[in-house]
Structure 1
Amino acid sequence: MSRYERWNALLELLAEQGKLEVEEAAEALDVSAATIRRDLDQLARQQMVTRTRGGAVAHNVSYDLPLRYKTARNADAKQRIGAAVAGLIAPGEVVGLNGGTTTTEVARALAVRPDLAERPENGPGRLLTIVTNALNIANELTVRPQVKIVLTGGVARPQSYELIGPLAGLVLNELTLDVTVLGVDALDAEHGATAHHEGEASVNRLLAERARRVVVAADSSKLGHRAFARICGLDRVATLVTDEGVSEELAAAFTEAGVQVIAV
């Protein structure tokens, strides 16, 4: 288990229990107590936990963990999903991308797709336009000469690197998109796509509304659940790209709702 995987596991244990003892955490993660103490000290320096004698208590930790601690979750599945979604994008399209670990993998897959790898010397211009509210995605793709990056503007949210608020809406209301790729916190046949944070959900909803088609990129752990704030109903979603862990029952429910399900 890597350091970031341990940190992620510790934060999730704290989110569930509120407090954690060093020996308890060491046994749960099968590492030494000294390793746990160092991990908790590092997390305390980042103001993610509050250290106590013999352990730590939750400090601003909830189910909505910062993006940098989510990257280890289902990494292989997210890379496969990212590659599959990238394959659905045609050169020349205007693509909306919200923030998240899965959409970041979509962006990376688009950046290395052979037919989008280099802009033709005498071609019509950039082969792809990405409209995003995710600072990390913009940062990764800005150096790609074949990609035009449009940032929505807004106030940066540290947990997800997403820009939220009315400034994002001012930009998005002036644009039209061919396809929006949404990363979600949950997707349910009855409640549709949802997010933990209402500000993110609001911008994500606009990204979906401005697009001709919407693709949801979500690993199977997000399916069959709902989060706090609604993004959009399934009537807005054309395609769901997920991993092979999706149950037949859930896949059938999404298909019955008119969503194409692609499991990779």
Structure 2
Amino acid sequence: MRNIAQRHKIILNELEKKGFVRVQDLSKKLDVSEVTIRKDLKELEERRLLYRNHGSASQLSSLINDRHIDEKAKVQVEEKARIADAANLLLEKNDRIIIASGTTLLRFAQQMTFAEPLTVITSSVKVSLTLSYKPNIDIIQLGGIMRKSSASVIGPHAEYFLKDLTCNKLFISVDGIDLDFGLTTSNLDEAYLNKFMIKAAQEVIVLADSSKFGKRGFGKICDMHQIHRIITDKNASPNAIAIMREKGIEVDLV
């Protein structure tokens, strides 16, 4: 049987490789009880080497800060392009969709080749400007307080407008996906607006590259069971993909 130091080393190595580990999986791998693994995770958390969740653990570096949209647009560029192409395949004639804010969603708008009639409601000013050149798309720009770092609106005006809508699909991007905690973003007001978007949509589709897994933003958007589909890149952890599919979420790898 491995001693405590050996178990801790293996746990941290698994976490570094996968970004997210489950108590059940570690118990099988190390051939010890789940109670022992929970004690190990608690000790590692106290040493500030990981972040413990219910039944799992993620990397301590999972907490993220807000960054400007122009800065985020330079990261994971190829992955975002593939995700945007896959999202385009989900559009249907006369869809009424919501597009939230974020660089992946902006790329989705930029690459939108759908030629049938479509109505888009969006909080993103950049998405509205991009789609304004496409004659088949009717655009409803939500109003409110401008959040400069994301070039999008937040606040009660946008929230109130969404209360009276029912849309086919919501395309949303996030700053963090924690398989226990849920979806998060770095801005609390944006997270609150996203909640109204989710209530207005029949289907919630998350566009997020693999770097978002195992991370948390400041504001929680929703639990994992509230989303229907995730489109991500092939670098996503197989462990995370398996867990999401177990939860009944459709996962598209591009």
TM range (shorter): 0.7 to 0.9
Which deviates the most, 173-182 or 62-71? 62-71
What secondary structure is seen at the aligned counterpart in 1 of 2:184? strand
| Percent identity (aligned) | 30
- Distance in 2 between residues matched to 1:109 and 1:143, nearest whole Å: 12
**Counterparts of 1:27-46 in structure 2 under 5 Å?**
none
Report 1 or 2 for greater relative contact order, CA contacts < 8 Å, sequence distance ≥ 6: 2
Structural RMSD (CA): 1.2
- Distance in 1 between residues matched to 2:87 and 2:133, nearest whole Å: 21
Q: Kindly indicate whether residue 226 of structure 2 is the aligned counterpart of residue 233 of structure 1.
A: no
Counterpart residue type for residue 98 of structure 2: G
Cα deviation, 1:185-218, whole Å, max 9, x if unaligned, reads: 0112111111110011011111111100000000
What secondary structure is seen at the aligned counterpart in 2 of 1:231? strand
Corresponding residue number in structure 2 for 1:100:
102
Counterpart residue type for residue 139 of structure 1: L
TM-score under structure 2 length normalisation:
0.73
Asked if structure 1 preserves the Cα contact closer than 8 Å seen for 2:65 and 2:217, the reply is no
- Distance in 1 between residues matched to 2:247 and 2:219, nearest whole Å: 20
Task: Count residues in correspondence.
Answer: 191
Q: Kindly indicate whether residue 127 of structure 2 is the aligned counterpart of residue 163 of structure 1.
A: no
Q: Kindly indicate whether residue 205 of structure 2 is the aligned counterpart of residue 203 of structure 1.
A: no
Runs of 4+, deviation exceeding 6 Å? none
**Counterparts of 1:68-217 in structure 2 under 5 Å?**
68-110=70-112, 112-113=113-114, 116=115, 127-217=117-207
Cα deviation, 1:101-155, whole Å, max 9, x if unaligned, reads: 1011111222x23xx1xx6xxxxxxx10000000000011112110000111111
Cα drift, residue 73 of structure 1 = 0.1
Counterpart residue type for residue 179 of structure 1: K
- Distance in 1 between residues matched to 2:235 and 2:162, nearest whole Å: 34
Unaligned runs of 5+ in 2: 1-63
- Distance in 1 between residues matched to 2:246 and 2:214, nearest whole Å: 14
TM-score under structure 1 length normalisation:
0.70
Give the one of 228, 233, 244 matched to 1:254.
Answer: 244
- Distance in 1 between residues matched to 2:246 and 2:128, nearest whole Å: 35
- Distance in 2 between residues matched to 1:81 and 1:259, nearest whole Å: 17
Corresponding residue number in structure 2 for 1:64:
66
Unaligned runs of 5+ in 1: 1-61, 120-126
